[in-house]
Amino acid sequence: MMGILAVTIFLFAALAASADELRLKTGAVHQGVFLELDARGRLSFQTFDREEPLKFPTAVISAVTLEKPRRVTFISSRNKKKTLTASWQGLQDGKFTLLLPGEKKAQSFQALQIHKLSAPFDMREFMLLRQKHQEQKAADTEKAGRKAADMLIAGKATVLYFVSTQTDVASRQGSLVKKLCRDQQRKAECVEVPLNSLQHQTAVVNGLKSLPQFWFYSANGRLAGKLVERFTEDDIEKMLEKAIKGRF
């Protein structure tokens, strides 16, 4: 029994340590997993709260912090035909720190010196990390709670997506809302609110009796409507359009 427990703790620690952090020069911070730096100089980063990866030019990135070095494939701009397996130690102020094979000391590379940098992506590990991230977010606000009005995005229609941490992260309704908001990202944004139970203070202060729920707000903060328990994909699309137009 102790052996199983020890293995479980080890695996949990390994997963927790593999989460990366992307920090933009605007001050925004995203947690997730680094994917690649492509040939166009754009860095792809899969966050825990989006289905599709974020992509940014390195010029807007302040840092990518890794809990531990990541195994990557590295192609230099000088020799695009040669692919190396290297250890990436992170990005800071435009410089990628890499330990190349056969070297004892890490080197710093500017983005222009790198043709491509890619890391393997393990979907199962990512989903476990995402689950842990959602549970932590729920735990962080469990006692204090947040009112709906405090979670709205200024200047945009906002969909508050109250969801159980035990819910399938790829649930169809949640995925649809995120996609619809992503397709109109200048006008709307989905804010996912993970809750570990209906006793969570955020659920209590907002009077939630079931999960999931979708609350739709206009850009000026007026409630356009709520979708609770039974509703269709068509209901979601119509309610979002109502919130975006703001005429009600």
Task: Note the pLDDT tens digit of each residue in 64-96.
Answer: 999 789 999 999 999 999 999 999 999 999 999
Mean pLDDT of 27-34: 90
- Least confident window among 17-21, 38-42, 57-61, 79-83: 17-21
Summary mean pLDDT of the chain:
87
Give residue 157's Cα distance to chain centre.
Answer: 20
Count of domains forming the chain: 2
Report the pLDDT value the prediction gives residue 2, as an integer from 0 to 100.
34
CA angle (29, 32, 36) in 5-degree steps: 100
pTM exceeds 0.75, yes or no: no
Note whether residue 6 is domain-resident: no
Looking at residue 132, its pLDDT comes to 81
Q: Identify whether residues 236 and 148 lie together within a single domain.
A: yes
**What residues are paired with 30 via a beta bridge?**
22
Q: Where in the sequence is the domain holding 157, given as residue range(s)?
A: 141-245
Q: State the DSSP code for 132.
A: H
Whether 176 contacts 117, CB under 8 Å:
no
Residue 15 scores a pLDDT above 80: no
R_g over Cα of the chain: 21
141 in Cβ contact with 102 (< 8 Å): no
Answer whether residue 4 is part of any domain: no
92 and 36: one domain?
A: yes
Q: Which two tokens stand for residue 117?
A: 């940098």
Neighbours of 131 (CB within 10 A): 16
Identify any residues that bridge with 228 across adjacent strands, giving them in sequence order: 213
Q: Where are the alpha helices (DSSP H) in 141-224?
A: 172-183, 201-205
Instruction: Report yes or no on 231 lying in a domain.
Output: yes
pLDDT band of 168, cuts 50, 70, 90: low
Which ranges of 147-232 does DSSP label H, i.e. alpha helix? 172-183, 201-205
